Amino acid sequence: MIHLDSDELLIAKNILDLKNASGSHSPSMFTLLENIPQINLKIDACFLSNPYATDLFIRYFEKELVKTNKLRDVLEFYPSQNQAIAQTISQVINMNNENIFVGNGAIEVIQAVMHNFISGNVIVNIPTFSSYYEFVKPGVEVIYNQLDKNNEYEINANQLIEFVNKNNGKNLIIINPNNPNGGYIKSNDLQFIISELSHLDNIILDESFIHFAYEDEHLNMVSFSEYFHLYSNLIIIKSMSKDFGIAGIRAGYGIMSKEKVEKLLQNGYLWNLNGLSEYFFKLYARPDFLKDYEQVRKKYIIDAQDFFKKLNEIPQIKIYSSFANFALIELIDGSSSSDFVSKMLIKYGIYSRTGNDKIGLEGQFVRISARSKTENETIISAIKNVFN
Amino acid sequence: MIHLDSDELLIAKNILDLKNASGSHSPSMFTLLENIPQINLKIDACFLSNPYATDLFIRYFEKELVKTNKLRDVLEFYPSQNQAIAQTISQVINMNNENIFVGNGAIEVIQAVMHNFISGNVIVNIPTFSSYYEFVKPGVEVIYNQLDKNNEYEINANQLIEFVNKNNGKNLIIINPNNPNGGYIKSNDLQFIISELSHLDNIILDESFIHFAYEDEHLNMVSFSEYFHLYSNLIIIKSMSKDFGIAGIRAGYGIMSKEKVEKLLQNGYLWNLNGLSEYFFKLYARPDFLKDYEQVRKKYIIDAQDFFKKLNEIPQIKIYSSFANFALIELIDGSSSSDFVSKMLIKYGIYSRTGNDKIGLEGQFVRISARSKTENETIISAIKNVFN
């Protein structure tokens, strides 16, 4: 079992204070380093992002912006308007631009959707990403569907449909793969759920982690967006931060009915992207970039799944099966998850995330993300040491 | 009088189509160049921004981010949360961070304020920046106070107070200096207006161009934010795009009551800045950067005022007096403003903005921004040529 010495306890107290000040999210790495100089951060394993994709983006960025005069344009001038950037995205996802709402990160799309389209009640499977229930407007009832710990918090299609109907649900949130456990609903099951619930006002499907999931041995991903036109109540939300490794840039989009996009753009969201996110979306629509990206996506999946396998061999933890780029681990030796997070951070410079503040998680949980192959190895040996 | 030949008319038609697709704003330079390859854009004089400040920012950016390993951090990792960045800003503007709401550009602050706090009616002086009346929620009455063309569209304190009271105004927008004419209300007059209207629900004071205004020979600016604590109904909005020359980064903030900031952050706006805007705000709070900035601010004002003086000598136009970084010019030789804008763009590569879509402007108007000294000279000689 993990124990902290008195010096570590003091720092752990600082970490906890910062964590509490950040609400139901982790304080950013920058905030952490500024406030606790004793911490020597080496790996941010709180952070859900493909580092190989960051390498790729930086390669393009340096070649095309830094080494030319174009960087200045990107910083100095106003970016294009929302629908001009939607037009760029429409080319790559094979969707009409009138169905695309571009966001300053997926979080802006979530906020816009929750504030403008969700009324009455909303069914949220828990544990899940907290912004979906935190961003509801006053007066909207959040109805929690507690996922079954014995089923590794996976969504069961029949249970969910029954729960929604029994509770007279008007709106439903599905995150696929789900955060924080990485559980994945296969596209057949998802189609079943969504077609059975076509009477709902809205089904929000968050595919922010879909690039890490696969249903065949070639690791091809299956986005539900190809079925979008069959379901008029469907809103698909996509973050680009995780799969493309560019959280600092803030880029995301939502796919929704033309009427919904029009309503959002009618009195707002005109210039909500920045020069770098516009540059990113132009890359996203380019076959040369996408071909390179596909390689780093698959490389990362292979390394991540290998990381999960090695985590699974550590006897003091139970790992939940994940099709995302993180693993939910349960400490089963009696250690507390905050002690684990503090010890890992103070002693090894590895930042991970406790599940303490996630409603619907019962037990001592830590979420830990897959990083590069060498970083994953460092994480594995640190965890082994922490328990010895 | 300006005439277009048949080739120019065709391109002018393309420009007009793009303009119409952009609503009441100009299409971005990128959108323009992508869609009309015939245009050889040399100067974007649509664009309201201090180019010397852009030079300064890029100097810091290259030294501190590109030439170190820090650029990667800024692109890869999540930026800090809204209130952590407000804390940074609070140091430089001498304001409690609880009164600061940080925005993805001032436009996001405008949208948040208009959607959350403005109900009943709102008084808008016209001509002005269109987003203030475009972003009102359905059901809010916009009451236009037509500024007097004979008084160069300047705001008259007594007239405005009387108009607000006569119309039972609940909310008021003041942009100082105003866009598109650059008219400036001196701080004494502004204090008089705001203290006489302390019974309104909200007074929104947009100081996005305040760094270009001055009341003494040393060109010192007078921000109203030092009086903020005297008026609980005051909301001050600040764009950083214009004065700091970084429109592509998207950075702005609002100063408002603690209760208003809390309401906005209660269910949204958690991570609305990007890595570059966070870096910018850290610079903004640094004395070394601010000292450098003060030099380029004054240099730009001197060049801009000199530019306005030279524009004033061109007989075919009347120039409205401006304390901002742009001049509203009226074509008084019978030319149409769209012909002027098309000709300048097609023949000289200089992009300016017609006032056709600005409600409250009566006549043939063009807004033209001050750029660098040499660009200003190019603009002056192009305008002279256009009329010959």
Amino acid at A10: L
Residue A253 near residue A102, CB atoms below 8 Å: yes
Q: Please report the pLDDT score of residue A170 as a whole number.
A: 98
> Following CA atoms B129, B132, B134, B136 in sequence, which dihedral angle do they give, to the nearest 10 degrees?
180
The continuous run of DSSP H or E covering A382 comes out as helix A373-386
Total beta-carbon pairs less than 8 A apart between chain A and chain B: 181
Instruction: Round to whole Å and give the CA distance between B160 and B165.
Output: 9
> In this complex, is the C-beta atom of B57 within 8 Å of any C-beta atom belonging to chain A?
yes
Strands (E), chain B: 43-44, 100-103, 121-126, 141-146, 171-175, 202-206, 234-239, 252-255, 317-319, 326-331, 350-351, 353-354, 365-369
Residue A291, token pair as written in the block = 């071909």
Residue A51 near residue A325, CB atoms below 8 Å: no
Instruction: Round to whole Å and give the CA distance between B310 and A98.
Output: 46
Q: Please report the pLDDT score of residue B27 as a whole number.
A: 79
Residue B43, token pair as written in the block = 């100067």
Q: Please report the pLDDT score of residue A69 as a whole number.
A: 80
Give A24's contacts in chain B (Cβ within 8 Å).
none
Cβ <8 Å between A28 and B275: no
Cβ <8 Å between A267 and B136: yes
Strands (E), chain A: 43-44, 100-103, 121-126, 141-146, 171-175, 202-206, 234-239, 252-255, 317-319, 326-331, 350-351, 353-354, 365-369
In this prediction, residue A328 has a pLDDT band, given cuts at 50, 70 and 90, of: very high
User: Nearest-CA distance from A22 to chain B in Å?
Assistant: 8
Left if phi > 0, otherwise alpha if psi is -120 to 50, otherwise beta: which for A25?
beta
Report CA torsion sign: A64, A69, A70, A72: positive
The continuous run of DSSP H or E covering B74 comes out as helix B70-76
Is the pLDDT at A334 greater than 80? The verdict is: yes
> In this complex, is the C-beta atom of B18 within 8 Å of any C-beta atom belonging to chain A?
no
Residues 202-261 of A with CB under 8 A from B: 241, 245-250
Which among B29, B31, B246 has the least Cβ separation from residue A75?
B246
Cβ <8 Å between B248 and A135: no
Cβ <8 Å between A28 and B77: yes
Residue of B nearest to A22 (CA): B81
Examine residue A315 and say whether the peptide bond preceding it is cis (omega within 30 degrees of 0): no
Among B79, B82, B76, residue whose Cα is nearest residue B275: B79
Give the CA radius of gyration of chain A.
Answer: 21
Question: Which domains occur in chain A, in start order?
Answer: 6-54+291-386 (3.90.1150.10), 79-285 (3.40.640.10)
Percentage, residues of chain A above pLDDT 70: 100
Residue B45 near residue B351, CB atoms below 8 Å: yes
Higher pLDDT, A297 or B270: A297
Residue A344 near residue A375, CB atoms below 8 Å: no
Report CA torsion sign: A153, A155, A160, A164: positive
User: Nearest-CA distance from B61 to chain A in Å?
Assistant: 10
Residue B329 near residue B366, CB atoms below 8 Å: yes
Q: Please report the pLDDT score of residue A19 as a whole number.
A: 84
Which runs of consecutive H residues, i.e. helices, occur in A201-274? 258-266
> In this complex, is the C-beta atom of A269 within 8 Å of any C-beta atom belonging to chain B?
yes
Higher pLDDT, A23 or A256: A256
Which among A72, A248, A277 has the least Cβ separation from residue B78?
A248
Among B349, B332, B344, B338, residue whose Cα is nearest residue B383: B344
Among B295, B318, B312, B297, residue whose Cα is nearest residue B376: B312
Q: How much is the average pLDDT of A162-169?
A: 98
Cβ <8 Å between A75 and B267: no
The continuous run of DSSP H or E covering B282 comes out as helix B275-284
Q: How much is the average pLDDT of A107-121?
A: 97
Which among B25, B74, B84 has the least Cβ separation from residue A31?
B84
Q: Please state, as a whole number, how many other Cβ atoms lie within 10 Å of the Cβ of residue A115.
A: 17
Which among B54, B78, B115 has the least Cβ separation from residue A28?
B78
Is the pLDDT at A357 greater than 90? The verdict is: no
Which among A31, A71, A81 has the least Cβ separation from residue B80?
A31
For tokens 């995150």, name the residue.
A175
Which among A49, A245, A275 has the least Cβ separation from residue B248?
A275
Instruction: Round to whole Å and give the CA distance between A148 and A150.
Output: 5
Instruction: Round to whole Å and give the CA distance between A120 and A186.
Output: 29
Neighbouring residues of A229: CB distance < 8 A, sequence distance ≥ 6: none
Residue of A nearest to B264 (CA): A135
Strands A121-126, A141-146: parallel, antiparallel or unpaired by DSSP?
parallel
Mutate which of B33, B60, B76, B122 to test chain A, going by most A C-beta atoms within 10 A? B76
Residue A239 β-bridge partners:
A252
User: Nearest-CA distance from B59 to chain A in Å?
Assistant: 11
Mean pLDDT (chain A) is 95
Give A81's contacts in chain B (Cβ within 8 Å).
22, 25, 27-28, 31
- pTM score: 0.94
Which among B74, B81, B274 has the least Cβ separation from residue A274?
B274
User: Nearest-CA distance from A268 to chain B in Å?
Assistant: 6
Mutate which of A111, A267, A351 to test chain B, going by most B C-beta atoms within 10 A? A267
Q: Please report the pLDDT score of residue A113 as a whole number.
A: 97
Exposed/middle/buried for B144, CB within 10 Å: 0-12, 13-18, 19+?
middle
Which among A57, A77, A277 has the least Cβ separation from residue B44?
A77
Q: Please report the pLDDT score of residue A314 as a whole number.
A: 97
Q: What is the DSSP secondary-structure string of A32-84?
A: HHHH-TT----EETT----HHHHHHHHHHHIIIIITSSHHHHHHHSPPPPHHH
Q: Please report the pLDDT score of residue B358 as a whole number.
A: 87
Distances in Å between the Cα of B44 and the Cα atoms of A166, B250, B375 are 59, 18, 10
Among B1, B21, B5, B34, residue whose Cα is nearest residue B364: B1
Among B31, B6, B26, B30, residue whose Cα is nearest residue B337: B26
Q: Please report the pLDDT score of residue A27 as a whole number.
A: 79
Percentage, residues of chain A above pLDDT 90: 87
Mutate which of B274, B276, B280 to test chain A, going by most A C-beta atoms within 10 A? B274
Which among B27, B57, B249 has the least Cβ separation from residue A274?
B249
Tell me the angle at which helices A275-284 and A82-93 cross, rounded to the nearest 10 degrees.
20
Residue B123, token pair as written in the block = 């008084």
Which among B31, B44, B79 has the least Cβ separation from residue A80?
B31
Residue A284 near residue A240, CB atoms below 8 Å: yes
Higher pLDDT, A38 or A382: A382
Cβ <8 Å between A78 and B246: no
Which among A57, A73, A137 has the least Cβ separation from residue B75?
A57
Instruction: Round to whole Å and give the CA distance between A363 and A331.
Output: 8
Mutate which of A71, A73, A250, A281 to test chain B, going by most B C-beta atoms within 10 A? A250
> In this complex, is the C-beta atom of A272 within 8 Å of any C-beta atom belonging to chain B?
yes
Amino acid at B352: S
Instruction: Round to whole Å and give the CA distance between A74 and A279.
Output: 8
Residue of B nearest to A18 (CA): B84
Q: How much is the average pLDDT of A312-320?
A: 97
Q: Please state, as a whole number, how many other Cβ atoms lie within 10 Å of the Cβ of residue A41.
A: 14
Residue B255 β-bridge partners:
B100, B236
Residues 98-117 of A with CB under 8 A from B: 104-105, 107-108, 111, 114-115
3-state helix, strand and coil shares in percent for chain A, rounded to the nearest 5: 45, 15, 40
Which runs of consecutive H residues, i.e. helices, occur in B313-372? 337-348
Residue A2, token pair as written in the block = 């993990």
Distances in Å between the Cα of A235 and the Cα atoms of A113, A138, A174, B112, B363 are 9, 21, 10, 23, 46
Q: Please report the pLDDT score of residue A25 as a whole number.
A: 74
Residue of B nearest to A27 (CA): B80
Q: Please report the pLDDT score of residue B357 as a whole number.
A: 83
Give A28's contacts in chain B (Cβ within 8 Å).
77-81, 84
In this prediction, residue A249 has a pLDDT band, given cuts at 50, 70 and 90, of: very high
The continuous run of DSSP H or E covering B7 comes out as helix B6-21
Buried b (16+ CB within 10 A) or exposed e, B324-355: bbbbbbbbeeebebbbbbbbbbbebebbbbbb
Cβ <8 Å between B80 and A28: yes
Give B54's contacts in chain A (Cβ within 8 Å).
72, 75-76
Is the pLDDT at A295 greater than 80? The verdict is: yes
Cβ <8 Å between B137 and A47: no
3-state helix, strand and coil shares in percent for chain B, rounded to the nearest 5: 45, 15, 40
Q: How much is the average pLDDT of A15-32?
A: 80
Q: How much is the average pLDDT of A191-206?
A: 98
User: Nearest-CA distance from B333 to chain A in Å?
Assistant: 32
Strand-by-strand arrangement of the A365-369 sheet: A317-319, A326-331, A365-369, A353-354
Which among B57, B136, B267 has the least Cβ separation from residue A137?
B267
Q: Please report the pLDDT score of residue B118 as a whole number.
A: 97
> In this complex, is the C-beta atom of A57 within 8 Å of any C-beta atom belonging to chain B?
yes
Residues 73-102 of A with CB under 8 A from B: 73-81, 84
Phi, psi of B201 (to 5 degrees): -65, -50
Cβ <8 Å between B74 and A248: yes
Residues of chain B with pLDDT under 50: none
Residue of B nearest to A130 (CA): B267
Residue B277, token pair as written in the block = 């805007």
